[in-house]
């Protein structure tokens, strides 16, 4: 296996699960927030604020996965 192929595999293992997991997390988070806003409209502002904090955390994890994938792709060199 060449160094380039190993870097591509490592980058794919960083990109794939990180971005897919964040997408699933965002879907669950936003879906439950909308459900709770419909059930209790009086708490809409509190739920919205908490939802945006959660969205920020989940998006940060996706960005970390992308950055680690780019590091694996362009910076890390295989030994030898």
Neighbours of 24 (CB within 10 A): 11
Distance from C-alpha of 43 to C-alpha of 40, rounded to nearest angstrom? 6
The predicted model scores a pTM of 0.76
Neighbours of 72 (CB within 10 A): 19
Residue in 12, 21, 16, 2 with CA at minimum distance from that of residue 72: 12
Render each residue's pLDDT in the chain as its tens digit; 80 residues. 677 788 888 888 888 888 899 999 999 999 999 999 999 999 999 999 999 999 999 999 999 989 988 888 888 765 65
Domain chopping of the chain, boundaries? 27-74
**Helix, strand, coil % in the chain, rounded to nearest 5:** 90, 0, 10
Strand ranges inside the chain, DSSP E: none
């Amino acid at each position: 296996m060449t160094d380039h192929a190993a870097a591509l595999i490592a980058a794919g293992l960083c990109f794939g699960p990180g971005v897919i997991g964040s997408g699933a997390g965002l879907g669950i988070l936003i879906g439950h927030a909308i459900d709770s806003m419909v059930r209790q409209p009086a708490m809409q502002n509190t739920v919205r604020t908490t939802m945006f904090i959660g969205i920020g955390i989940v998006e940060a994890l996706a960005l970390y996965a992308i950055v680690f994938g780019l590091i694996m792709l362009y910076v890390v060199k295989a030994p030898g």
